[in-house]
Amino acid sequence: MNRLSLNDDDKRVRQWFVEQVKACGCTVKVDQMGNIFATRSGSNNSLPPIAMGSHLDTQPAGGRYDGIVGVLSALEALRTLQDHRVETYAPIAVVNWTNEEGARFPPAMLASGVWGGAFTLEHGHSRTDASGKTVKSELARIGFLGDTGCSCDANPLSAHFEVHIEQGPALEAEGLRVGVVTGVQSMNWYNVVLRGREQHCGTTPMHMRADTLLCAAKMIQAINAQALSLPGSLASVAVINSTPQSINTLAGRVQFNIDARASSNELLVQLEERLEAACRDIASKDGVQIELWDRIWQCPKTAFDDTAVEMVRQSVRKVEGGKFKEMISGAGHDSVYTARKVPTAMIFIRCKGGISHNPVEFSTQEDIQAGANVLLGAVLRYDEY
């Protein structure tokens, strides 16, 4: 899958999604960030809906499960309610959140973040892709710049439940289908720009260089080494760009991003300090300037709601017996930002080899079915509650 947020394929899948939920008798609202809310009436429609949400956008080299399983499971739960003519007390909503991946428009979980008050609407609208296109202009282009206010106040929910593939190896290692997610680790993204000197590769003695790419290479190694030396933390550099892209001219400018995560906010502060100190040390030794060291995203550790998690726990006991694992998510999810406003919980399902953000991403039909059943059970229990 390469369904980057707000591209033509995203437009098509959104149109498909709207058709499907309308066929289930839902009313559809699109908000100012393009989030789509499909609502099925309950017996007390003065209550905000209980939502089941995730995302249909993917990474550029993405799989067919990350996010998509969450929306399709919600859709299946909705259809099951229809098929069995179940009348819930509160209305039930299925939500497709915009730009969860953050691949095209950093940061991740952008539109659930606006809804949850982590970002202003202006911030959400003005994020740009690599070619400079904004979220707002792309929403308008594909016809999904809605007029419903993008906030919990303007468009409230009662709770948010999300099924997602684990994206890591823990469930598979323990031979379990399903995990009960109690929270999400702390994460930061950085944008770093280095400035050295363009020079001729064939004539400039090695000791007279301010070789920006060599300096970046040392930093990438140091960033990895720092995370390895700090148990409970991760640090990765995946995006790099060197200019001027000429084989015989030393790069004079290098841009890269860091993805840093840790099991606690305090540990992430410590990791950040070590990463920055290590990079500044390398830069000063190499005669290269750190022109920009910008924390472009900061997402503190999340703890999900006890009651919502308990509904998931009860549901998974019913579906899977005692076979489940309580766990903390390594990845961010839209539930991180809904959790700031409403009771939220998540269900993980096993994925093959723990591999995600990759076309080989895979979960079995049986595991997906288990996740969807746990989701529906949790939502009905919450509705009961």
Ligand X SMILES: NC(=O)NCCC(=O)O
- Position 331 contacts ligand X (CB under 6 A): yes
Q: Which does 205 bind (CB under 5 to 8 A by kind): its own copies, ligand X, none?
A: its own copies
Tokens 């684990």 correspond to what residue? 166
Separation CA 21–CA 91 (nearest Å): 14
Q: Are 225 and 261 a contacting pair, CB within 8 Å?
A: no
Residue 148 identity (one-letter amino acid):
T
Q: Which range of residues in 89-97, 169-177, 212-220, 325-333 is near ligand X by CB under 6 A?
A: 325-333
Binding of its own copies at residue 331 (CB under 8 A)? Answer: yes
Q: Which is nearer to ligand X, 49 or 106 (CB)?
A: 106
CB of 165 to ligand X, least distance (A): 8
Q: Which does 145 bind (CB under 5 to 8 A by kind): ligand X, its own copies, none?
A: none
Q: Which does 128 bind (CB under 5 to 8 A by kind): its own copies, ligand X, none?
A: none
Q: Which of residues 171-200 bind ligand X (CB under 6 A)?
A: 200
Segment contacting its own copies by CB under 8 A, of 53-61, 113-121, 275-283, 316-324: 53-61
Q: Which of 288, 296, 220 has the alpha carbon at shortest distance from 256? A: 220
**Cβ closer to its own copies: 109 or 159?**
109
Which range touches its own copies (CB under 8 A), out of 34-42, 47-55, 218-226, 373-381? Answer: 218-226
CA distance 88 to 377: 12
Q: Closest Cα partner for 58 from 100, 20, 96, 30?
A: 100
Look at residues 354, 349, 261 and name the one whose alpha carbon lies nearest to residue 302.
261
Site for its own copies in 228-247 (CB under 8 A): 228, 234, 236-247
Structure token pair of residue 161: 């439940």
Question: Pick from 72, 74, 216, 283: which binds its own copies (CB under 8 A)?
Answer: 216
How far is residue 109's CA from residue 187's CA, in Å, rounded to a whole number?
Answer: 12
Q: Is 132 in the site for its own copies (CB under 8 A)?
A: no
Cα(279)–Cα(344) distance, rounded to whole angstroms?
38
Chain CA centroid to CA 116, Å = 14
Nearest residue (CB) to its own copies, 91 versus 168: 168
Binds 333, which of its own copies, ligand X, none (CB < 5 to 8 A, cut-off by type)?
Answer: ligand X
Task: Look at residue 30 and give its three-state secondary structure.
Answer: strand
Smallest gap from residue 154 Cβ to its own copies (A): 29
The Cα 259–Cα 31 span in angstroms is 29
**Residue of 39, 59, 155, 344 that binds its own copies (CB under 8 A):** 59
Prior bond to 244 cis, omega within 30?
yes
CB proximity list for 153: less than 8 A, separation 6 or greater: none
101 binds ligand X (CB under 6 A): yes
Please, what is the end-to-end C-alpha distance for the chain in angstroms? 39
With residue 89 as reference, give the H or E element that holds it: none
Closer to ligand X by CB, 92 or 234: give it.
Answer: 234
Kindly tell me the burial class for residue 95, based on how many C-beta atoms sit within 10 Å of its own C-beta (0-12, 13-18, 19 or more): buried
State the Cα–Cα distance between residues 3 and 46, nearest whole angstrom. Answer: 36
245 binds, among its own copies, ligand X, none (CB under 5 to 8 A by kind): its own copies
Is 108 one of the binding residues for ligand X (CB under 6 A)?
Answer: yes
Answer for the pair 94, 38: CB distance below 8 angstroms, yes or no.
yes
Asked if residue 333 binds ligand X (CB under 6 A), the reply is yes
Q: Scan residues 22-81 and list those touching ligand X (CB under 6 A).
A: 66
**Which residue number, 7 or 148, has a Cβ lying nearer to its own copies?**
7
Binders of its own copies in range 265-304 (CB under 8 A): none
Nearer to ligand X by Cβ, of 333 and 381: the residue is 333
The option from its own copies, ligand X, none interacting with 45 (CB < 5 to 8 A, set by class) reads none
Interface contacts to ligand X, rule CB under 6 A: 66, 100-102, 108, 167, 200, 202, 248, 331-333
